Structure 1
Amino acid sequence: MIVSGLSGSGKSVALKTFEDLDYYCSDNLPVELLPDFVRSRLRGNPLGDQRLAVGIDVRSRSDLTQLAQWRQSAQEYGIEARLLFFEASDEALIKRYADTRRRHPLSHLGLALPEAITRERQLTEPLRDQADAIIDTSALNVHQLRRRVVTEFALGSHDRLSLLFESFAYKRGVPAEADFVFDARVLPNPHWDPELRPLTGRDAGVREYLDNEADVQRYSAQIVDLLDTWLPRLRNDTRSYVTIAFGCTGGKHRSVYMAERLAQHARTQGWPEVATFHREQD
C-alpha cells in the first residue's frame, strides 16, 4: 500500500492505522529506494504474504514520476501495489496548520502557506493522476478517517470476509455502519473503581477486573455462541466486512474490553482478517 498526498491531509493517520493492523510501515521513503525496500522485506519473508505500507510525498524531494514505472514492474512480478492519495481543501489545510502550528514541508522555499499548498498540489499531481483511490479528508475528523482506512482499504482489499470489532459510547450515538450491536452497559462498570477509572479496556487491570466477574463470562459466552453460529453464514454474502459493535456509557472500559476479547476469539477461530476500532479512544 502506497500512501501519498498533501501535507496535513491525514497521511500520517493513515499510515499509523495500517501499522496498527500489522502492516510493516515506512514513511517519507524516496521513490528511488522503493524497489530495494520491497525486495529486502520480501527476502526476509519468502512466502510473499507480508503487507507493507509506504509513505511517499514531497518531503523526500525525489522524482515522483518514477513511481508509475516501478508499479508497472512490480505488477509483472505479481506484487500488488495500490496507491492511496489523500487531499483536502485549501481552507481545511490552512486551518489544520494554524491549529498545530507546524511548518509546511515546502516552507524552506520561502513560500507563504497558501502558495506552498498550491506548489505541493502541482508537485504531487503525477501521483494523484495514477492513484487507485483519492480520499478527500476536508470534512473528516481523525476517528472518521481511521475508520474509513480500516474498512475501505485495510480490510476491504481482500476477497474474503473480514471482521471489524468496534467499541463506542452510547452518549455519542450508535455507529450507523454496525451490523451487530451489543449493549455492554449491563456489565459491572470499572469506572467506579478509582484505580481503574483512568484506564481503558485494553489495560491489564480492567481486563482482570472484568475477567473475574461471572456476569461478564456468561455475557461473553452467549455472544461467542451467537457469532460463531451465524457469522460463517455471511461468508457467501457480497459484503467485504462485517462490523460487530459494543457500546457502553463512555466507550472506555466495558465496550473496549468486549471488542478486544471477541476480536481475539475470532482470530483463534481462523478468521483471516480481524481488526478493532475504538471510536472514543483511537
Structure 2
Amino acid sequence: MRIVLVSGLSGSGKTVALRALEDAGFMAIDNLPVAFLAPVVEHLARQGVGQVAIAIDARTGGLEALPGTLERLAEQGHGVDLLFLEARDGVLLERFSETRRTHPLAREGRPLVEVIALERELLAPLSQRAHRIDTSDLSAGMLRAWIREFVFAGEGGWLTLTFESFGYKHGVPLDTDLVFDARCLPNPYYDKALRPLTGRDEPVVRWLEAIPEVGAMFAEIAGFVERWLPCYEREHRAYLTVAVGCTGGQHRSVYLVERLGRAFAARGRVVVRHRDCPAAYSG
C-alpha cells in the first residue's frame, strides 16, 4: 500500500492537501490518532486498498511513537511518504482572523501567537522528517498542483529531490534545505521584450544561455548537489529541497530550476516547482 501522511500547522492548508489527494484516487482519513495508524493500515491492506492519505496533527497526541510506527510500516513493505505543510506566523494569524476559526490548541486567554509557537514546537520533530511545503504565498490551486507533482513524481529512487524557484522580494521559502542566490546574474527583466516572459520561454532561455556566468552558476549548483546528494541519502533523508532565488522569481531562478530538474531527472523522484511565477508552472 502507498501511504501519504499529511501533517503541519493548523491553517497551513492540510484540508486542501487531503482533498487533493482524495481527488487523485487516495482514500482520505482526517485527524487519525497515531495509535490507530498501524491497525487502520493493516485493515485497509486486507481490504485491498492500494493508496491512502491520512492527516495527523498535534491534536492527535502520541507523536513520539510515529517514527517507530513508520519504520514498522516500511518494513512490512508499505510505501510511506510524509508531507508537512507550514506557513509564516503572520500569514497564519491573518488566515485565522479571516476565517474566524478557533485554533485547535487554543486555550482561554492564551494569545494566538503563543499557540502557534507551541504547535510549531510540538511538530518540529515531524517536520524534520518530512517533505515540507511553505504555503504562505500559495493559492489553493497552486498547493493542489504541488501536491500532485509530489505524489506523481518518478519512482526511480526513494529520495524526493525538489528544485524550487522563488523571488527574494517575497521572502525566502521556509520549506527549503539548500538555498542558492542568482541575483548576481544579468537580469532579463530590464529587456522590455523579455520582461513579461518567464525563464521557461525560449527567448529568455536563449538570452540567459548566451551569458557565460549563467552556465557557470548552473554547473556550480549542479555539481554541489551531485557531490553532496549521496551524503544526504546515507543519512536516510527522504526529501531534499534545493531553492534558487532571484529578485522576482520569474526569469533567472525559473530558468536554473528548470535546467536543474532536467539534469537530475534520471535520478527518479524529482519535482520542479515555481513559488512566485505561476505562469511558469507546467503541471
What is the TM-score with the length of structure 1 in the denominator? 0.54
| Structure 1 contact 86–137 (Cα < 8 Å) conserved | yes
Residues 139-178 of structure 1 aligned to structure 2 (within 5 Å): 139-151=137-149, 153-156=150-153, 158-159=155-156
Identify the residue that residue 134 of structure 2 maps to in structure 1. Answer: 136
1:24 alignment partner, one of 23, 27, 34: 27
Q: Percent identity?
A: 38
Residues 217-228 of structure 1 aligned to structure 2 (within 5 Å): none
Q: Deviations over 1:190-223 (max 9, x none)?
A: xxxxxxxxxxxxxxxxxxxxxxxxxxxxxxxxxx
Identify the residue that residue 279 of structure 2 maps to in structure 1. Answer: none
- Quick one: distance in 1 between partners of 2:30 and 2:125? 19
- Quick one: distance in 2 between partners of 1:80 and 1:21? 17
Quote the offset at 1:59 in angstroms: 2.2
| Structure 2 contact 9–57 (Cα < 8 Å) conserved | yes
Identify the residue that residue 75 of structure 2 maps to in structure 1. Answer: 76
Identify the residue that residue 127 of structure 1 maps to in structure 2. Answer: 126
| Structure 1 contact 155–241 (Cα < 8 Å) conserved | no
Identify the residue that residue 181 of structure 2 maps to in structure 1. Answer: none
> Runs of 5+ in structure 2 lacking a partner?
158-195, 202-264, 272-282
What SS does the corresponding residue of 2:11 show, helix, strand or coil? Answer: coil
> Higher Cα Rg: structure 1 or 2?
1
Q: Deviations over 1:122-178 (max 9, x none)?
A: 1111211221x1111111111111111111x22115349xxxxxxxxxxxx999889
The code of the aligned residue for 1:63 comes to G
* Over 3 Å off, 4+ runs: 157-160, 173-178, 237-242
| Structure 1 contact 65–127 (Cα < 8 Å) conserved | no
Quote the offset at 1:64 in angstroms: 0.6
Identify the residue that residue 54 of structure 1 maps to in structure 2. Answer: 54
- Quick one: distance in 2 between partners of 1:241 and 1:67? 26
Identify the residue that residue 164 of structure 2 maps to in structure 1. Answer: none
The code of the aligned residue for 1:140 comes to L
Identify the residue that residue 103 of structure 1 maps to in structure 2. Answer: 102
| Structure 2 contact 154–270 (Cα < 8 Å) conserved | no
Identify the residue that residue 114 of structure 1 maps to in structure 2. Answer: 113
Quote the offset at 1:91 in angstroms: 0.7
- Quick one: distance in 1 between partners of 2:152 and 2:199? 18
Structure 1 position 2 matched with structure 2 position 5: yes
| Structure 2 contact 16–144 (Cα < 8 Å) conserved | yes
1:40 alignment partner, one of 40, 43, 55: 43
The code of the aligned residue for 1:36 comes to P
Quote the offset at 1:79 in angstroms: 1.0
- Quick one: distance in 2 between partners of 1:157 and 1:12? 25
